[in-house]
Amino acid sequence: MKNTKFQAVIMAGAMAASALSSVSVFAEQTTSEAETESVVESKEESTEGKFVLEYPEDMQELGYTDPIVLDEVPERVVSLSTAPVLALYELGVNLVGIPNSMVVTWPEDLKESTETVSFSVMSPDDFDYESVVDLDPDLVLLAYNGADTAGKTLESLGIPVYYLYAGHTVPYESIVGQTNALIDAFAVDEESKEAGEKIQARFEALDKNVEAAKEAFEGKSVMVLQSSGDAHYIQTENGTLGSMAKMIGFENVYTNDQSSMVQLDYEQALDYDPDIVMCVGAEDAEGHKELMETAFAQNPEYWNSIPAIAEGRVLYLPVSYVSTAGINVVDCINELIGTVADFYGIEVETISVDEDASEEGTSEAVSEDAEESTSEAETK
């Protein structure tokens, strides 16, 4: 009997302790949730009415989680990267400094109203910081791989710096994410909001065009050559042009998990039998065609051992396909679809990406200059 009473007391105590523990855990969770909500509310209150430029997902994964918060929308912006320039220009942002570019031609009015700033993350010690300071910027945009050099120096001078996922090859998804972040921040009035919607509409149209291209080019293979003088390199599906070819349905004959582009292994290349060869370099399409045809003619025995080259199944593309430059990638991919469609003599149903048009059309609607970029029709 005594044991039974004792056990009952113990059980009652245990149940009480358990109840208290549950209440305690619940209280801790409630407190934690309340604290989180408080932090969120505090953050919203602290940024209310201010300019907020968030980082896209890929940059947050690199540790850039805190947005740029300024009291007012920047009125003097310097971009040391080509990536955001065209999007900012279309959004009506006042750009006072932009970089030189071999890849994209800046609009004439932008070139006339903006200072050109020479900067390379590969040689930051040679950078003239005074040239940026003299522009009196209230925001500088810089590729993240320059954060420890130019970024630190500019920040030490009290200049806000926003870092970008930028470089020789940037995934299409990253370009979309970065552009959307810029639109969210800089679309502050009806005109800029309309401009942002037009940019996003072009991305949406491109996504549909890519799906149509995949269906048309399915099962075809490609070898991507990037050349400069006598030096020839081969790209994987992760290279700039290689990734665009993959997007529209081509399978790359060359794979390499370590690098997106390496010097061409001449012996190994003899084993490749692509349906088409895409060539790109630092020239326009005609200039690169001349360079490559000269190379082919100097060593015909070797190059003609690759059937696609021997049979003229070669596309020569301009310098804009060497590296990405923000929203310029939309035009590049659309034009590539048109160029390839013309080469094969087929039609790809596409959506026009012209600013004032939205009707559907064929590949000609997105590639007015496609014929100039293909090889001679007789070689087909």
Rounded distance between C-alpha atoms, residue 255 and residue 264, angstroms:
12
Q: Residue 321: which of 340, 303, 297 has the closest Cα?
A: 340
> Tokens representing 162?
């926003």
Domains of the chain as residue ranges with CATH: 51-167 (3.40.50.1980), 218-379 (3.40.50.1980)
Residue 46's pLDDT is 75
Q: Tell which residue, 209, 226, 175, has the closest CA to residue 361.
A: 209
31 vs 260 pLDDT, higher one = 260
Token pair of 113 as six digits: 């109203």
The mean per-residue pLDDT over the stretch 30-55 comes to 67
Distance of alpha carbon 364 from alpha carbon 86, whole angstroms: 24
Average pLDDT for 46-74: 94
**pLDDT at 118 > cutoff 80:** no
- Top mean pLDDT of 20-24, 130-134, 208-212, 368-372 is at 208-212
- How large is the average pLDDT for residues 67-84? 96
User: Angle at Cα 160 formed by Cα 157 and Cα 162, nearest 5°?
Assistant: 130
Q: Which two tokens stand for residue 61?
A: 């994964």
Specify burial of residue 173 (Cβ count, 10 A radius: 0-12, 13-18, 19+).
Answer: exposed
Over the stretch 50-59, which tens digit does the pLDDT of each residue have? 999 999 999 9
- The whole-number pLDDT of residue 37 equals 54
Single out the residue of 155, 145, 141, 129 nearest to residue 82, CA to CA.
Answer: 141
Cβ 140 vs Cβ 80: under 8 Å? yes
* Three-point CA angle 237, 243, 248, nearest 5°: 110
3 state SS for the chain:
CHHHHHHHHHHHHHHHHHHHHHHHHHHHHHHHHHHHHHHHHHHHHHHCCCEEECCCHHHHHCCCCCCEEECCCCCCEEECCCCCHHHHHHCCCCEEEEECCCCCCCCHHHHHHCEEECCCCCCHHHCCHHHHHCCCCCEEEEEHHHHHHHHHHHHHCCCCEEEECCCCCCCHHHHHHHHHHHHHHHCCCHHHHHHHHHHHHHHHHHHHHHHHHHHHHCCCEEEEEEEECCEEEEECCCCHHHHHHHHCCCEECCCCCCCCEEECCHHHHCCCCCCEEEEECCCCHHHHHHHHHHHHHHCHHHHCCCHHHHCCCEEEECHHHCCCCCCHHHHHHHHHHHHHHHHHCCCCCEECCCCCCCCEECHHHHCCCHHHHCCCHHHC
Lowest mean pLDDT among 90-94, 343-347, 355-359: 355-359
CA 365 – CA 347 distance, rounded (Å) = 11
Measured in degrees and rounded to the nearest 5, phi and psi for residue 78 equal -115, 130
Q: State what percent of residues in the chain have pLDDT above 70.
A: 79
Both tokens assigned to 351:
């959506």
Q: What is the pLDDT of residue 380?
A: 41
CA 194 to chain centre: 22
Amino acid 13 reads G
pLDDT digits (tens, 9 = 90+) for 162-188: 999 987 778 899 999 999 999 999 999
In the prediction, which pLDDT does 160 show? 97
Per-chain mean pLDDT for the chain: 84
Find out whether 82 and 103 touch, Cβ atoms under 8 Å. yes
Q: Is a pLDDT exceeding 60 seen at residue 368?
A: no
**In whole angstroms, what is the distance from residue 78 CA to residue 311 CA?**
48
What is the share, in percent, of the chain residues with pLDDT greater than 90? Answer: 69
Query: What is the Cα–Cα distance from 151 to 278, expressed in whole angstroms?
Result: 37
CB neighbour burial string for 109-144, b if at least 16 within 10 angstroms, e if fewer: eeeeebeebebebeebeebeeeebeebebbbbbbbb
